[in-house]
Amino acid sequence: MAKEKKGARYFLKLFAFLVVSVFLGLGALICLFAPVTNPGFLSDILYRGRQEKDLKQMAMVSRRMMGDSNRSAAIFEQLAGAFNESEFKDAGLDAPEVLTFKTGDGIELEGWYFKGTEGSTDTVLVCYNGFNKRLPVIAGYVKVFQDAGLSVFLFDYRGLKDKGVKFSEYTAIDDARAAYDFLIKDKGVTPEHLVIFGREMGAHAALKIAREKPCKALILEEPWFDVKSFMESVPGAIAMRLVPASFYKDNCLNNVELVGKEHPPILVVTEAPHISGAGHFYKAISSPKSYLFVEGLPPLTLAPDMKREDVRYLNKVKDLLAGVGLEAPEVGEVAWKDSLAEGLVASKQTGKLVLVELGAEWCPPCRKMEATTYVDPDVVARINKDFIPVKLDLKGEEAQNLSDSLGIRSIPTALFMNAEGKVIKKLTGYVGPGKYLEELPKADAPVSSGD
């Protein structure tokens, strides 16, 4: 009996030791990633790529993931090297005016002022994230903004050149504020002619400035709802999900609360709303606002390819400056039905085509469609207006029968049918909002005989 009690006490102590060890380990892990206990970690994530070794590592990862010829790796390697004046010419740009200005605490910063086309009066202040001398990354934007009638002012945050200077997301906001003041006081730009552009953390800085100071409009790429949800949505960021909201500062850098009832026109641009939270941010703010989904702006590689989407981007910026298309209606969500039979009855009654979306919960491209294409305001409005939308999961009998009868072998697949169930058009695989809108058929489209 004594041996049994001794053995029980031993296992009880061992269990207690393991429990305490797990809790201590979790506590240490939370302290390692929590912004209140390790603010430098969050700053490094939000302004990644500030050191040469980081850029070289990002280039290596990019090549492994996307091949040796991918554009992102080449940009990372170029950013890791010394800047050369020939980069302006290589990018098709005239050399900018190099300007210096000081922050409120006396730090001297450098900026590049790209003059707009003749007669242009508006200027865009670019609040980017990461990378000193970020010309290869931003060159595409300079061209688009200039074509829209804007001059462009880029600047380097403190600590991007001099690694000995203390740097954080808060000093970055101070630096952006100083850049705004410099444009107003020294360059003579009036607030009604100043547009503020920001990406990710730069979007937060842009919103901070716009809350304090007047401006003509805001262009926000991948603005998060708050930084906690943004960090948790990044693939593989399991440890960040352990950090409670109370371990973040300033209400988790919430962007929505920075947008009051009265605010400048806002253009939200996104390629990955399911990661950045840009879609949630857009829905949460009031008009005047507009929304643009673009391919080729992956937030994890920071290598936007404006050649693919520059026309749509340019037109959206022109509309923003002209005040067009900003009274965005609250279109809500796609009004999906869950029965094809019900959809065909509605089609006969309304004369609209039936849109059948075949997918599955386990299908990553299907989930991406749901998070990007089927939440895009233009896509939602068009579908609800012109189609009878039906969503079928392959685990259901109706979806399986339809898939077998049509020989569908991959998902997601969008089928457009008339009231008799004849296929008008078929779209297979992931399709982004812009392409999807282009591919939507008209009611009088001819019946398809195949793909």
- Quick check: 159 pLDDT over 70? yes
Give the whole-angstrom CA distance, residue 438 versus residue 235: 30
Three-class HEC string of 175-214: HHHHHHHHHHHCCCCCHHHEEEEEECHHHHHHHHHHHHCC
Q: Which CATH class is domain 86-322?
A: alpha beta
Location of each CATH 3.40.50.1820 domain in the chain: 86-322
325 within 8 A of 290, measured Cβ to Cβ: yes
Location of each CATH 3.40.30.10 domain in the chain: 340-439
Question: What is the per-residue pLDDT across 344-388, written as a single tens digit (0 to 9) for each?
Answer: 999 999 999 999 999 998 998 998 888 888 988 889 989 999 999
pLDDT number for residue 302: 44
pLDDT level of residue 242 (50, 70, 90 thresholds):
confident
Structure-block tokens of residue 33? 């990633």
CATH superfamily of this structure's domain 340-439:
Glutaredoxin (3.40.30.10)
- Quick check: 301 pLDDT over 50? no
Question: What is the per-residue pLDDT across 399-449, written as a single tens digit (0 to 9) for each?
Answer: 899 899 888 888 999 999 999 999 999 999 999 888 899 899 875 555 544
- Quick check: 223 pLDDT over 90? yes
Classify residue 284 by burial, with Cβ atoms within 10 Å: 0-12, 13-18, 19+: middle
- Quick check: 195 pLDDT over 70? yes
Helix, coil or strand: residue 149 = coil
pLDDT number for residue 450: 44
Give the whole-angstrom CA distance, residue 221 versus residue 237: 21
344 within 8 A of 404, measured Cβ to Cβ: no
pLDDT level of residue 10 (50, 70, 90 thresholds):
low
Whole-prediction pTM: 0.79
Structure-block tokens of residue 51? 């050191």
